[in-house]
Amino acid sequence: MDRRRASLRIRGKVQGVFYRESARTEALRLGLTGWVRNLSDGSVEAVAEGAPESIEAFITWCRRGPTQARVSDVERADEEARGEFTTFTVERSS
């Protein structure tokens, strides 16, 4: 099975609006593994692995986010999946 990895940096009003937990719920719904966390500059970082079409659906969701979020930009870097995750988690802020 073809698996991909996307590293994302999401900017805008994305902290304090349940972005991380909503992203975790969406990633699990799509069958993705990885993590999401807040960064000290107010952005959110995520790493997701899974089927290419699920990765694309997740990125589309990240551009919108939960209802109260206001996403201004999503940067992405694509790689081969490493297979290091077993589920999708919310990590502590860095």
pLDDT tens, N- to C-terminus, the chain (94 residues): 689 999 999 999 999 999 999 999 999 999 999 999 999 999 999 999 999 999 999 999 999 999 999 999 999 999 999 999 999 999 987 6
Instruction: Tell which residue, 83, 89, 31, 38, has the closest CA to residue 56.
Output: 31
Rounded to two decimals, the pTM is 0.95
Q: Which helix or strand (DSSP H or E) is residue 63 part of?
A: helix 52-64
CATH, domain 4-78, list 3.50.50.60, 3.90.180.10, 3.30.70.100, 2.60.40.60? 3.30.70.100
Q: How many angstroms separate the CA atoms of 55 and 42, rounded?
A: 23
pLDDT tens digit sequence for 81-90: 999 999 999 9
Q: For tokens 């593994």, name the residue.
A: 33
| Residues labelled catalytic | 20, 38
What local confidence, expressed as pLDDT, does residue 93 receive?
75
